[in-house]
């Protein structure tokens, strides 16, 4: 089978490898669609993310959907928690200290034609959703978890700082959660236009919001969120910084008495995300702007790194055109 492995900074190599052999309680999945995420780009650009660095050639990709050998279409939940620690038992598997995650550390991800994955982390995909829709369930889940943390009230004013795919999903979820005004900041013109199409208003100085979401992973976006949040407001930090550090003007946040909430991935979100998509409440399809076969994985990463379009999808099994 074909496999795309990250070898070093900026080097994704296409290899031929034997198919994986499922262990007990695992299922072999033929991968049909994989989304490239900002965290994949951290690995591609820096050979690591946060405090984790590349230890061996790694198969990236954690936004995935495929089909089992039995013919069941599934979305892949990339997070494998232990299920027995106090955080898993307490309903917070995203905080599990023993968690393994697709395309991270020593756990190979989905950028390959086949992957063996735990049965309990495979989610049945309804026929109304495409393979690409299935891959988009993971970023939608990340956005949904962030909105849950924000404790939005109907009529709240909201800002989204950074309008990549996650930011645009947060914007849409804020809208259906009853936000009365949704503002955005974004340096790239095509992403500003996407935010506007989803009902966002460009954020200008002096406009205060109840909740500000930072979805860019850069300090400038964090500063925007803190400076625009009203006294007593909330800032939810979703982005992952390239240098594993986030800084902001402490006096502003302190004097406002802001609640600053950091968001880690998601928890128990896939079923809700499927319901949201089946009800037509959120548009994920227009976010997919580029598609590549696995044989052009290196080109796909280059496009994503240049921030062209919005979401890049890689489709293993598709022929190059």
User: What CATH number is given to the structural domain containing 89?
Assistant: 3.90.180.10
Question: Is pLDDT at 148 greater than 80 in this prediction?
Answer: yes
On average, the pLDDT of the chain sits at: 97
Is residue 275 domain-resident? Answer: no
Is residue 24 domain-resident? Answer: yes
- The pLDDT score that the predictor gives to residue 207 is 96
Give Rg (Cα) of the chain: 19
Is residue 132 domain-resident? Answer: no
How many alpha carbons lie under 13 Å from residue 67 in its C-beta half-sphere? 12
Sheet holding 157-161, edge to edge: 201-202, 181-185, 157-161, 209-214, 229-237, 259-262
Is residue 37 domain-resident? Answer: yes
- The pLDDT score that the predictor gives to residue 318 is 77
Q: Do 75 and 117 fall into the same domain?
A: yes
Q: Do 65 and 154 fall into the same domain?
A: no
Q: Do 146 and 206 fall into the same domain?
A: yes
Q: Do 174 and 245 fall into the same domain?
A: yes
Q: For 306-319, what is the mean pLDDT? A: 92
Backbone angles phi, psi at 83, to 5 degrees: 85, -5
Question: Is pLDDT at 38 greater than 60 in this prediction?
Answer: yes
- For residue 195, what is the domain's CATH number? 3.40.50.720
Query: Could you tell me the residue range of the domain that residue 103 belongs to?
Result: 2-125+284-315
Q: Do 167 and 101 fall into the same domain?
A: no
- The pLDDT score that the predictor gives to residue 321 is 53
Q: Do 59 and 154 fall into the same domain?
A: no
pLDDT per residue as tens digits for the range 90-129? 999 999 999 999 999 999 999 999 999 999 999 999 999 9
How many alpha carbons lie under 13 Å from residue 293 in its C-beta half-sphere? 8
Q: What is the DSSP letter of 84?
A: S
Distance CA 123, CA 84 (A): 21
- The pLDDT score that the predictor gives to residue 245 is 95
Is residue 276 domain-resident? Answer: no
Q: Do 64 and 33 fall into the same domain?
A: yes
Q: Do 98 and 146 fall into the same domain?
A: no
Q: For 207-226, what is the mean pLDDT? A: 97
Mention every residue, 6+ apart, whose C-beta is less than 8 A from residue 107. Answer: 80, 100, 101
Q: How many domains does the chain have?
A: 2
The residue with greater pLDDT, 319 or 302, is 302
pTM assigned to the model? 0.96
Question: Is pLDDT at 39 greater than 90 in this prediction?
Answer: yes
Is residue 243 domain-resident? Answer: yes
- The pLDDT score that the predictor gives to residue 317 is 81
Is residue 320 domain-resident? Answer: no
Length of the chain: 321
Is residue 297 domain-resident? Answer: yes
Question: Is pLDDT at 210 greater than 90 in this prediction?
Answer: yes
Backbone angles phi, psi at 3, to 5 degrees: -135, 135
Distance CA 161, CA 215 (A): 6
Structure tokens at 283: 């548009």
Q: Do 6 and 120 fall into the same domain?
A: yes
Q: Do 255 and 301 fall into the same domain?
A: no
Q: 226: pLDDT confidence band, cut at 50, 70 and 90?
A: very high
- The pLDDT score that the predictor gives to residue 320 is 62
Q: Do 225 and 304 fall into the same domain?
A: no
Q: Do 178 and 120 fall into the same domain?
A: no
């Amino acid at each position: 089978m074909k496999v795309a492995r990250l070898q070093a900074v900026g080097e994704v190599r296409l290899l031929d490898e034997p198919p994986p052999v499922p262990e007990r309680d695992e299922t072999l999945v033929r991968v049909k669609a994989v989304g490239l995420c900002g965290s994949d780009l951290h690995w591609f650009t820096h050979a690591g993310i946060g405090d984790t660095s590349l230890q061996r050639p790694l198969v990236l990709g954690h936004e995935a959907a495929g089909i089992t050998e039995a013919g069941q279409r599934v979305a892949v939940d990339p997070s494998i928690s232990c299920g027995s620690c106090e955080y898993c038992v307490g309903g917070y598997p995203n905080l599990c200290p023993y968690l393994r995650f697709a395309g991270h550390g020593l756990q190979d991800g989905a950028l390959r034609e086949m992957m063996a994955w735990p049965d309990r982390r495979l989610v049945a995909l309804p026929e109304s959703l495409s393979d690409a829709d299935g891959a988009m369930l993971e970023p939608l889940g990340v956005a949904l978890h962030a909105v849950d943390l924000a404790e939005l009230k109907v009529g709240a004013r909201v800002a989204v700082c950074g309008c990549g795919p996650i930011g645009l999903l947060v914007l849409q979820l804020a809208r259906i959660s009853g936000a009365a005004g949704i503002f955005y900041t974004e340096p790239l013109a095509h992403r500003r236009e996407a935010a506007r199409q989803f009902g966002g208003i460009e954020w200008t100085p002096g406009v205060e919001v109840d909740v500000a979401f930072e979805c860019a992973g850069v300090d400038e976006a964090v500063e925007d969120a803190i400076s625009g949040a009203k006294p007593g407001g909330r800032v939810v930090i979703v982005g992952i910084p390239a240098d594993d550090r986030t800084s902001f003007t402490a006096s502003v946040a302190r004097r406002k008495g802001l609640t600053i909430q950091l968001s880690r991935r998601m928890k128990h979100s896939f079923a809700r995300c499927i319901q949201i998509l089946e009800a037509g409440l959120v548009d994920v399809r227009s976010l997919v702007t580029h598609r590549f076969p696995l044989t052009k994985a290196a080109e796909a990463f280059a496009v994503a790194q240049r921030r062209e379009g919005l979401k890049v999808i890689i489709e293993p099994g598709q022929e190059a055109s």
